[in-house]
Amino acid sequence: MTTVSMTVNGRQVSADVEDRTLLVDYLRNAINLTGTHVGCDTSQCGACVVHVDGRAVKSCTMLAVQASGSAVTTIEGLATGDELHPVQAAFREHHGLQCGFCTPGMIMTAVDMIRRHGGQLDEATVRHELEGNICRCTGYHNIVKAILDAAAKMQMPAAAE
């Protein structure tokens, strides 16, 4: 057992876990943040994507101890109070989710994608960069639309709307 501490969604957390505990299990079971999901055991599906120090990471690929001391953001920490993050709002607006299981990982991947590309996103880039996230429900059509729309809106100052 090791005490693993980190900042999750701006809150300092600490828990004793086995050394082999994955970050996703730490978040789901030790910290009780169940928004981050597990969809596979081979780091293929992306249901578990969170941000570690601002970058998208598959939390099933990282040990909790490796994230010790980091700042982690999960889907629960993305909105500001009642105000949805623009990517969250765009997923709703464009019906980019059905069962919602892949959705937290999709949104966290999308936020990082937009951060890296800014407004330079086009459909081909979005589809290519979504390769690490599997959705079985939506056929991706509306997810792609949502990400492109959010990217455009996040570039645009609110005053211009």
Partner 1 sequence: MGMEGIGQRVVRKEDKRFITGKGKYTDDVKLVGMTHAHFVRSPHAHAKVVSIDSAAALAMPGVIAVLTGAELVADRIGNLICGWMVHSKDGSPMKMGAYPAMAPETVRYVGQAVAVVIAETKNQARDAAEAVAVEYEELPAATTVAAALAPDAPQLHPEAAGNRVYEWSIGDKAATEAAFSGAAHVVSMDITNNRLVPNPMEPRSAVANYDSGDDALTLWTTSQNPHVARLVLSAFYNIAPEHKLRVIAPDVGGGFGSKIYIYPEEIVCLWAARKVNRPIKWTSDRTEAFLTDAHGRDHISKAEMAFDADHKILGLRVHTYANFGAYMSLFSSSVPTYLYATLLSGQYVIPAIYAEVDGVYTNTVPVDAYRGAGRPEATYLLERMMETAARQFGLDPTDLRRKNFITSFPYQTPVIMTYDAGDYNASLDAALKAVDYAGFPARKAAAAARGKLRGIGFSCYIEACGIAPSKAVGSLGAGVGLWESAEVRVNPVGTVEVLTGSHSHGQGHETTFAQLISERLGIGIDQVSIVHGDTDKVQFGMGTYGSRSGAVGMSAIVKAMDKVEAKARKIAAHLMEAAEGDIVIEGGEFKVAGTDKKMPFALVALAAYTGHNLPDGMEPGLKEGAFYDPTNFTFPAGTYVCEVEIDADTGKTEVVNFVAADDFGRMINPMIVEGQVHGGLAQGIGQALLEGTVYSDDGQLMTASYMDYCMPRADDLPSFDLHHTTTLCPGNPLGIKGCGEAGAIGSPPAVINAITDAIGHNDMSMPATPAKVWAAIHGRAAAE
Residues that bind partner 1 (CB under 8 A): 18, 20, 28, 32-42, 44-45, 47, 74-76, 78-79, 84, 88, 91-93, 95, 97-104, 107, 123, 126-128, 130-131, 133-144
Query: Do 40 and 136 touch, CB atoms closer than 8 A?
Result: no
Does position 72 interact with ligand FES (CB under 6 A)? The reply is no
Q: What's the min distance (Å) between Cβ of 81 and ligand FES?
A: 25
Residue 108 contacts ligand FES per CB under 6 A: no
Residues 28 and 36: their CA atoms lie apart, in Å, by: 7
Of 43-51, 69-77, 79-87, 115-123, which part binds ligand FES (CB under 6 A)?
43-51
Q: What interhelical angle do 86-93 and 141-155 show, nearest 10?
A: 140
One-character DSSP codes across 96-126: --SS-SSHHHHHHHHHHHHHHHGGG--HHHH
The 10 Å Cβ neighbour count of residue 137 is 14
Binding partner of residue 65 among partner 1, ligand FES, none, CB under 5 to 8 Å per kind? none
**Does the protein bind ligand FES through residue 140 (CB under 6 A)?**
no
